[in-house]
Structure 1
Amino acid sequence: MEAPLLLTSPHSGAHYPKSFIDASRLDAHTIRQSEDMFVDALLAKAPAHGIGVLSANYPRAYVDLNRAPNELEQALFKDTLPAHIDRHSARAAAGLGTVPRLVAENTPIYDGKLSFAEAERRIQNVYHPFHRKLEDTLRALQHGFGYAVLLDTHSMPSQATRLSSEGRRIDFVLGDRHGRSCDARLSDWLERDLTARGWQVARNKPYAGGFITDRYGRPADGMHAVQIEINRAIYMDESNYTKHAGFARLQNDLTELVAALATALPALLSDTLPGPTRSAAE
């Protein structure tokens, strides 16, 4: 990679194992409701600009990579969960844990309950390899450039977005954990660029950033993370799961944005580096 910038798409995975489909009560269409469809495709041209992309293979309904590894809900399992499980996770209690019970509000994935061993398999075989790759890549970028920037990219149902002051639905929500996961100049830059392209942008409402943003956004250590939520209606038909004409424009805008960001980063964040590293970079 030629820039200290990594893009992730942890919810666009579309490999649904047969055993998972067989265990689910949902049809092939409904089970995809929580999938961030085509987000990986929106980012597909970034590597041509020296920017890394890490996308999930498995769907969020199977295992949610944007959760801590121990956010599980006792109600989903036959056996008693071990002591290391986070029993106070509000996300798990809502049915949206690391192995979720629901695919959408009031839409259970299963008729029955799972074994804890099944959850462990998914976490060991899918969750941990993704996060090892993510952490290793960010550390390599930080080692090479002195800092690293992560844009964790998602999509949101259009009806989940609030109206702007102009009465339009919000197109993008930038989540930086209310300023804790990155230098403020990074969020400001992203908002300015998207707004200049004609998009409606909100900050931290209704999405302030999930586990990935919180876990990897450590600006004091040179790790900057922003979650980007994209309104699905601007690039796809939400009812039949197909791209529409807006996809090409959005893909082009995102490609131009990340290429411009890669160029801007040295001036934007270089003064956040330790003294010797900054001098070497300059």
Structure 2
Amino acid sequence: MNPVIIQKGDGPVILGQPHCGTYIPDEIADRLNDRGRQLMDTDWHVDFLYDGILEGASIVCANFHRYVIDANRDPSGKSLYPGKNTTGLVPLVDFENRPIWKTDPDTDEVERRRKMFHAAYHKALSDEIDRVKSTHGIAIIFDCHSIRSELPFLFDGKLPDLNIGTNDGATCSAEIEDMVSKTCADAAKYSYVVNGRFKGGWTTRNYGQPDAGVHAIQMEIAQRCYLASETPPFLFDEKKAEHLRGLLGQILRLLDGVARSGNLNGVRHV
């Protein structure tokens, strides 16, 4: 199976989807314990949630599950959140701090997976960024994520509905961050936070270079906003999703429009 699905659009917005894949090669699946095989930490149905939401958007979606290797982690294994609980490049525990392997993968196995899966995803994403930027003079990466609403191992209490990450403003222009946060604030149905517990993963931090015309922003959605329940079988809720898709579509159309305008934050992109 191809580790990455690429949909090339003609617009300036790229939707990154590193965590909604569920494919695990048999030889890796055999090493998961019963807990790991539940794939609890999947960004369930995120690809479906964003399907057709912005005409002309490009999509780069990982087919493989994050338990194979996490495409949104630093390939060096360095923690994105030093001093806080998190999961690694190849997670050894799930988001409830429960072991997921019969025998933990060793260093050689992690490196094999990095080359086969992580590198493939980021080669596809990097190539798409270059293609989009060569056409429009600018690229906006909107990294699409979701997570269960309550995970004490990772954060206290209940997560806000919408969690915007720009690594404290470093990965995109202030105009883009303000545009997204204001649109969320105007949507009274949802709570939101900017650079709270989730400030953007490795994708956002690695590619977001606003001075070079590449802007990146992460949206982490609490799964209660579009799932019928946050327990197996994690069913999609059409009614919840319809309202959320309206808001996400509004955000993405604004980003698309400001990028196509050719003038972002006073800098002309050619």
Cα distance change on mapping 1:100 and 1:93 into 2, 3 Å: farther
Q: Secondary structure at the match of 1:202?
A: strand
- Measure, in 2, the Cα distance between the counterparts of 1:93 and 1:189: 29
Structure-2 residue corresponding to 1:171: 161
Partner of 1:186: 176
Match of 2:230 in 1: 238
TM-superposed deviation, 1:169: 5.8
Partner of 1:76 in structure 2? none
Q: Which amino acid aligns with 2:34?
A: L
Moved more, 258-267 or 236-245: 258-267
Distance 2:102 2:176 in 1: 45
**CA deviation vs aligned residue, 1:103-124 (integer Å, no higher than 9, x gap):** 2232111132324332222111
1:88-107 deviations in whole A, cap 9, x for unaligned? 87679967221111122321
Which TM-score applies when normalising by structure 1?
0.81
State the distance in 2 between where 1:159 and 1:151 align.
24
Aligned mates of 2:181, 2:80 — CA distance in 1 = 31
The one-letter amino acid of 2:46's match is V
1:254 paired with 2:244, answer no
How many residue pairs are counted as aligned between the two chains? 254
SS at match of 2:94: strand
CA shift, 1:261, in A, is: 2.6
Which residue pairs with 1:77 in the alignment?
Answer: none
TM-score (norm 2): 0.85
Report the Cα distance in structure 1 between the residues aligned to 2:133 and 2:95, rounded to whole angstroms: 37
Aligned residue type for 2:91? P
Give the secondary-structure state (helix, strand or coil) at the position aligned to 1:185.
helix
* CA deviation after TM superposition for structure 1 residue 29, in Å: 5.8
Query: Does structure 1 conserve the Cα–Cα contact (< 8 Å) formed by 2:173 and 2:265?
Result: no
Q: Give the % identical residues.
A: 25
Q: Which structure: larger Rg? A: 1
- 1:150-203 CA-to-partner distances (Å, cap 9, x unmatched) read 11111122125778xxxx962101111101111011011111222323322210
The reply on whether 1:271 has 2:263 as its aligned counterpart is: no
| Residue number in structure 2 paired with 1:14 | 22
Which letter does structure 2 place at the counterpart of 1:238? Answer: E
Structure 2 partner of 1:135:
126
User: Does structure 2 conserve the Cα–Cα contact (< 8 Å) formed by 1:42 and 1:254?
Assistant: no
1:227 CA drift (Å):
0.8
- Alignment-derived partner of residue 48 in structure 2: 41
Sort the Cα spacing of 1:93 and 1:254 in 2 relative to 1 into closer, same or farther, 3 A.
closer
Query: 2 CA distance for matches of 1:89 and 1:46?
Result: 29
CA contact (8 A) 1:46 1:53 kept: no
- C-alpha distance after superposition, 1:194-223 (max 9, x if no partner): 232332221000111111111000111111
Once residues 3 and 50 of structure 1 are traced to their aligned partners in structure 2, the CA distance between those partners, rounded to angstroms, is: 5
The reply on whether 1:25 has 2:20 as its aligned counterpart is: no
Bigger share in helix: 1
> Contact (CA 8 Å) 1:175, 1:228: kept in 2 or not?
yes
Specify the code of the residue in structure 2 equivalent to 1:26: D
The alignment's C-alpha RMSD in Å is: 2.5
- Of 15-24 and 265-274, the range deviating more from structure 2: 265-274
Letter in 2 for 1:97: G
What's the counterpart of residue 100 of structure 1?
Answer: 91
Give the structure 2 partner of residue 197 of structure 1. Answer: 187
Q: Extract unaligned runs of 5+ from structure 1.
A: 72-85, 278-282
Q: 1:92 to 1:111 in 2, by over 3 A?
A: farther
4+ residue runs over 4 A deviation: 88-95, 160-163
Q: Which moved more, 1:58-67 or 1:110-119?
A: 110-119
SS, match of residue 131 in structure 2: helix
Paired amino acid for 1:54 = V
